[in-house]
């Protein structure tokens, strides 16, 4: 419990829902940094802008590697499963139909469990790696993450290159390589953490949206490029993705360190110039009297304590539930290619262009629409901080519910495409809600909070992978409108997420009213 104060403090209008002395320390540090910035505005802005540009470039290249493998890898998986099925079950048939239930069911199973197992490293290692990032810096952890991702990606391609010698289900072992540095959700969280280290709170949503816009640029550019390359060979885009992962590692190597200084840094570096958020070469180096084994043990104990603090806060648990439920909406699009190919008889290369449509809409949303709405809410309505981000999140969630429902129930390609477009308008849901959480829970270190958000997404994908695959298989057996059952399930879970956000908004509104009342008596 915080010690009693002699005088009653003046509480600001945008005070977070949960706050303590650590949150006040962060505000004090930000004020000190702002004062230092005023003295050296030019160099600081230059270094901060360069860092954000590097993070955007790294996000762009890494996202390209993921989108460039999705459609061709699905096609390669289907071809391998189809070849095995007809060679064992019906070797005398000269013509094959790879859209039959046994092939599509196995394809959904392989992909579903592959995506599920991919989340385990982020869940198990999320908090320890976040604490490690607070200790040794963001850059080394990002480099470890890219190394593990490269090894995981290479293993999947090796299994696909030798389908007669290696069973396809061996791709489920690929996530073991991500033990090196966590999964994709953890890596994304670290990139957002590095950005949060070097930008002011008022600019956080803008920078986060710009980083998210990189994914949309990739969807716009990658989908037609990959579809064109797939007309020649599915392995051309797969080879390109391996090259781009090496490029991503090179960009990450050039990143500056952004970790804010620890108290131990302050005691050993009295010069304020050496305590900047990035540019220092010694960030988080362990003390000479502390072995790496001791440091690992301390990190494990701290991760347990951090987990306990999250579990003891109902508000944080509810907020993390939004990420778990939101992951279903993100992961259900993994079935889009199969769904469209099965229901409307589209080729994978054609269905892949739907991701370009989502990319164009989401890019416009990230660069223009959301920023205009954000300014309108702040300047015209006077709503700021967490309440503003919660309102943005709720609007995005409603659009996702409408769009996913339209896709699941669509009986014509026009309605399906319209549903994809509407859902894309809500694609900033988790970005805006992540900003809301950072504002609501300022007592939690940003790296740990971002890592736990990534863990919650991973848990959502871990749960949704096999369930969505089983739901899709059940829908195929039922036929008709039930083929879209996975989309209807994801839509229903987003309704629950919307209810949680509405509850958090009411809680924040009540807390703000209480603060106004206290200000009236002070």
Beta strands in 195-299 (DSSP E): none
What is residue 489's predicted lDDT score, i.e. its pLDDT? 93
pLDDT for 506 equals 87
How do the domains of the chain map onto residue ranges?
Answer: 21-261+311-521
- Encoded tokens for 312: 């003891």
- pLDDT at position 211 is 83
* CB-based contacts of 470, cutoff 8 Å, min separation 6: 112
Whole-number pLDDT of residue 263: 52
Q: What is the 3-state secondary structure (H, E, C) of 468-500?
A: HHHHHHHHHHHCHHHHHHHHHHHHHHHHHHHHH
DSSP single-letter state for residue 227: H
Summarised one tens digit per residue, pLDDT across range 164-205 is 899 999 999 998 898 888 877 788 888 888 888 888 766 777
Low-confidence ranges of the chain (pLDDT < 70): 1-46, 89-95, 201-202, 262-312, 366-367, 380, 382, 384-385, 512-522
* Burial category of 192 from C-beta neighbours within 10 Å (exposed 0-12, middle 13-18, buried 19 and up): buried
Residue 70 CA to its chain's centroid (Å): 17
Residues in Cβ contact with 302 at an 8 Å cutoff, skipping those fewer than 6 apart = 131
**21-261+311-521 CATH fold:** Growth Hormone; Chain: A; (1.20.1250)
Residues 71, 226 contacting (CB under 8 angstroms): yes
What pLDDT, on a 0 to 100 scale, did the predictor assign at position 63?
A: 87
pLDDT of residue 187: 84
Give pLDDT tens digits for 241-300: 999 999 999 999 998 888 877 554 444 443 343 334 344 443 444 444 445 445 555 655
- CA neighbor of 217 nearest in space, from 356, 330, 336, 350: 356
Q: What is the structure's pLDDT at 12?
A: 42
- Contact between 481 and 366 (Cβ < 8 Å): no
How many Å from the N-terminal Cα to the C-terminal Cα in the chain?
Answer: 22
Q: How far is CA 347 from the centre of its chain?
A: 29
Write out the two tokens for 5: 């104060």
Q: What is the predicted pLDDT for the residue at 98?
A: 83
């Amino acid at each position: 419990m915080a010690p009693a104060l002699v005088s009653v403090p003046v509480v600001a209008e945008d005070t977070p829902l949960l706050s303590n002395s650590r949150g006040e320390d962060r505000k004090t540090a930000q004020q000190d940094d702002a004062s230092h910035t005023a003295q050296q505005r030019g160099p600081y802005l230059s270094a901060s802008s360069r860092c954000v540009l590097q993070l955007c470039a790294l996000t762009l290249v890494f996202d390209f590697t993921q989108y460039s493998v999705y459609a061709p890898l699905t096609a390669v998986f289907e071809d391998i499963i189809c070849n095995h099925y007809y060679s064992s079950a019906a070797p005398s048939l000269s013509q094959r139909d790879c859209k039959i239930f046994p092939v599509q069911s196995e394809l959904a199973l392989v992909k579903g469990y592959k995506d599920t197992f991919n989340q385990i490293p982020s869940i198990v290692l999320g908090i320890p790696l976040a604490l490690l990032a607070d200790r040794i810096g963001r850059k080394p952890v990002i480099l470890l993450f890219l190394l593990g991702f490269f090894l995981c990606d290479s293993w999947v391609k090796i299994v696909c290159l030798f389908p007669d010698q290696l069973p396809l289900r061996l791709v489920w072992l690929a996530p073991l390589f991500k033990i090196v540095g966590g999964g994709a959700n953890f890596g994304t969280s670290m990139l957002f953490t590095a950005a949060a280290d070097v930008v002011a709170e008022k600019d956080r949503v803008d920078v986060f949206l710009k980083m998210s816009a990189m994914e949309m640029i990739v969807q716009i550019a990658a989908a037609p490029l990959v579809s064109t390359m797939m007309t020649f060979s599915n392995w051309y885009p797969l080879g390109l993705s391996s090259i781009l992962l090496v490029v991503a590692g090179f960009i990450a190597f050039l990143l500056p360190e952004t970790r804010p200084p620890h108290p131990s840094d302050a005691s050993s570096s009295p010069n304020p110039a050496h305590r900047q958020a990035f540019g220092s070469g010694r960030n988080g180096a362990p003390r000479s009297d502390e072995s790496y084994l001791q440091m690992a043990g301390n990190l494990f104990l701290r991760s347990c304590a951090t987990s306990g603090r999250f579990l003891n806060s109902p508000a944080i648990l509810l907020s993390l539930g939004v990420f778990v439920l939101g992951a279903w909406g993100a992961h259900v699009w993994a079935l889009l290619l199969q769904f469209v190919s099965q229901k409307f008889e589209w080729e994978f290369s054609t269905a892949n262009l739907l991701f370009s449509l989502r990319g164009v809409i989401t890019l416009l949303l990230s660069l223009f629409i959301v920023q205009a709405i954000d300014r309108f809410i702040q300047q015209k309505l006077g709503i700021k901080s967490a309440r503003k981000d919660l309102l943005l999140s709720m609007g995005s969630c409603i659009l996702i519910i409408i769009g996913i429902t339209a896709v699941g129930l669509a009986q014509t390609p026009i309605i399906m495409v319209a549903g994809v477009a509407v859902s894309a308008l809500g694609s900033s849901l988790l970005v805006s809600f992540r900003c809301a959480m950072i504002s609501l829970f300022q007592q939690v270190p940003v790296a740990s909070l971002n890592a736990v958000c990534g863990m919650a997404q991973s848990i959502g994908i871990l749960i949704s992978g096999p369930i969505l695959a089983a739901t899709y298989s059940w829908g195929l057996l039922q036929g008709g409108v039930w083929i879209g059952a996975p989309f209807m399930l994801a839509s229903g879970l987003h309704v629950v997420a919307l209810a949680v956000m509405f509850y958090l908004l009411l809680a924040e509104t009540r807390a703000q009213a209480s603060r106004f009342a206290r200000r009236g008596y002070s």
